[in-house]
Amino acid sequence: MEENTKNTAKRRFIYGGFILVLAICVGGIHYAYVRTLFENDKHFLYLSDLEREMSLRTEMGFYYSFYKTVVETRPFQVGIFKLLMDRLVEYPHEVNAVNRFNIHPEVPILFLNTASLIFWQFTPYIFMSQVAIFFVMEQMCIIDRKTLSVFVHNHICSLQAAALLFQCNASPMSSLHACYFGVIAVYSLVGKYARVDVRNRYDFITECLLVFPRIFSTTFVAFYLWGSLKRGKPDKDTHVWDILYSKFTDHKSFHTLIYTCSDVFDFMPLSTIINMSKTLLVPIVLIISVNVVDFWIKDAYVRSESEMRSANQYLHNGIDNNRRNAANNRQVNVAKDKKDILMVYVRNLKIDPAVFYNLAMMAVFGLMAGLVMRLKLLLTTQMCILSSLVVKKYFRV
């Protein structure tokens, strides 16, 4: 027995090492491939320093200016001080550029030269989408309230770490993302009082009708709380809302002019979707999405038919009441409700939480990429993750 355990642990270690080496090799090949594409397009190695700086357009040049300020300033602490008390960007006002423009990744890079997701300006909206999807999954009974509570707890810990890495800046704790999952955290504690114990068709319909008011009310409270916290304070996310607002109106500001002059902040063109279709990524993902939904529907139908047959067989045999166990009692209840096919079908509808989450995230990233083409990197990555389901036999054609 002990020998088998050791052999199993050894096989797992070898398998994990193989996967790690394979991932590093694929990552290195991808890095070389992307670098070659960039070099063939820009000939960056043969450009002078001035030409290289001129190739940095829109916000790339904007953030590079901070990098250059610190690199060319001696000692290093003086350069950091210039970023903390910047008087050029919003002259004559003095701002903390590190917090105002989220240039935290540049600081450790600069230190290494004389990176993390939580510093990206779009990260709060991605995290908020995750919380929203988990909340919807809980409302649809795909996950239970305990799972939602654990997820929210992890986000709370992540926000606390982010606040420390932001130099104890309170911005992450007062963001829309923090407000939204704060409301969801409260709901996870008292949400059971807002749910209906579904026992029949009428309870099920009532519960379905209450899902939308709960989602709307939590979203409204989150936005109201966020607006109250940022009232009278500078909002570092103003440029994001300005960019979105300018896409549907004639609104113009400093941020919209510096960002929207580049195609990467425009709507995603049809040519991009056509190019992704040529790689078979789009067709594969669409086929998989349809197959997944079809599998869930058919699987619930098969389970329902099997349960109904078992319940009918049980009643036909007439087993003694004293010998019934919990499973038998459930079969009797199913037999009593056999005329209500809807409830039997709903009980047997099993939706994979992981697959549903990835499908929902792909839909969210698709909306983001449609509005801002630069976010296509999120969409394509998520589509690649979903395309891996092609090897899952349950979801094949």
pLDDT at 360: 93
pLDDT at 359: 93
CA distance between the termini of the chain: 42
SS3 state of residue 70 = helix
Q: How far apart are CA 192 and CA 112, in angstroms?
A: 51
pLDDT at 377: 81
77 Cβ neighbours under 8 A, 6+ residues apart: none
**Tally: H helices and E strands in the chain:** 18, 0
Top-confidence range, 230-244, 313-327, 374-388? 374-388
In whole numbers, what is the pLDDT of the chain averaged over residues? 76
Residue 305 dihedral angles phi and psi, to the nearest 5°: -60, -45
pLDDT at 333: 52
Angle between helices 281-317 and 270-278 (to 10 degrees): 70
pLDDT in tens, 28-76: 898 888 888 877 777 777 777 777 777 776 667 767 777 777 777 666 6
Q: Between the CA of residue 113 and those of 46, 118, 214, 254, what are the distances in Å?
A: 22, 22, 50, 31
pLDDT over 90, % of the chain: 5
Tokens describing residue 358: 């990835």
Instruction: Name the residue ranges covered by the structural domains of the chain.
Output: 1-54, 56-115, 123-236, 271-395
Top-confidence range, 167-181, 226-240, 316-330, 350-364? 350-364
Q: Smallest Cα–Cα separation from 121: which of 71, 175, 163, 57?
A: 175
Q: How far apart are CA 351 and CA 68, in angstroms?
A: 51
Angle between helices 326-336 and 281-317 (to 10 degrees): 100
pLDDT at 356: 93
Q: How far apart are CA 151 and CA 158, in angstroms?
A: 11
pTM: 0.67
The mean pLDDT value for 191-209 works out to 83
320 pLDDT more than 50: no
SS3 state of residue 161 = helix
Q: How far apart are CA 389 and CA 207, in angstroms?
A: 32
Q: How far apart are CA 105 and CA 108, in angstroms?
A: 6
